[in-house]
């Protein structure tokens, strides 16, 4: 079989919408033995002299669930997964026997999600459709639309009712 492990990506920003997308992916896409990869995009900032400076170009290493469940470890990545997200993936890891990993990128969410697809590489990507406020979405265009049109793998947009 070789390296036939499916890598299913879910864009997470630790919002209600991204939790819904994550839950949907686990219920509908993820199978036993898959790698479930949470892709978190952080805004660009000034990371001089921190470990993040090294990762800004390439993204963080793949972070295993045991590490991203640890608030102390996540501090160095400048991100804080919410308890609900951690609970969802911990359950998936045990019940579905999937390997859960996180990878963090810094920069524009639209570009970096497409980059993540090629960089990891992902077999499929699930995104929520309520990532940005209305005003920001009007200016930037929606992240989900952009990724659907530019990603090199299949993208599923999970609609979240208002």
Per-residue CA distances from 136 to 16, 18, 90, 93, 130 (Å) = 18, 17, 32, 34, 11
pLDDT digits (tens, 9 = 90+) for 43-91: 887 777 777 788 888 899 999 999 999 999 998 888 899 999 999 999 9
What is the rounded average pLDDT for all residues in the chain?
89
Q: How many CB atoms lie within 10 A of CB 112?
A: 23
* d(C-alpha 15, C-alpha 128), whole Å: 10
At the fourth CATH level, which superfamily is domain 7-158?
Answer: HUPs (3.40.50.620)
**Residue 15 reports pLDDT greater than 60:** yes
CB-neighbour burial class of residue 105 (10 A; exposed 0-12, middle 13-18, buried 19+) = buried
Domain boundaries of the chain, sorted by first residue:
7-158
The average pLDDT across 109-136 equals 86
Is 158 in a helix, a strand, or coil? Answer: strand
């Amino acid at each position: 079989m070789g390296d036939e492990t499916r890598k299913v990506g879910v864009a997470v920003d630790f919002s209600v919408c991204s939790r819904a997308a994550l839950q949907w992916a686990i219920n509908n896409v993820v199978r036993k033995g898959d790698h479930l990869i949470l892709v978190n995009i952080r805004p660009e900032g000034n990371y001089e002299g921190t470990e993040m400076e090294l990762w800004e170009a390439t993204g963080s290493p793949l972070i295993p669930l045991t590490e991203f469940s640890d608030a102390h470890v996540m501090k160095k990545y400048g991100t804080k997964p919410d308890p609900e997200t951690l609970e969802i993936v911990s359950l998936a890891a045990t019940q579905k026997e999937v390997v859960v990993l996180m990878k963090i990128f810094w920069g524009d969410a639209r570009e970096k999600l497409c980059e993540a697809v090629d960089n990891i590489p992902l077999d499929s990507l699930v995104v929520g459709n309520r990532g940005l406020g209305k005003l920001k979405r009007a200016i930037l265009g929606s992240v989900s639309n952009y990724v659907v049109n530019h990603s090199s793998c299949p993208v599923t947009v999970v609609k979240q009712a208002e």
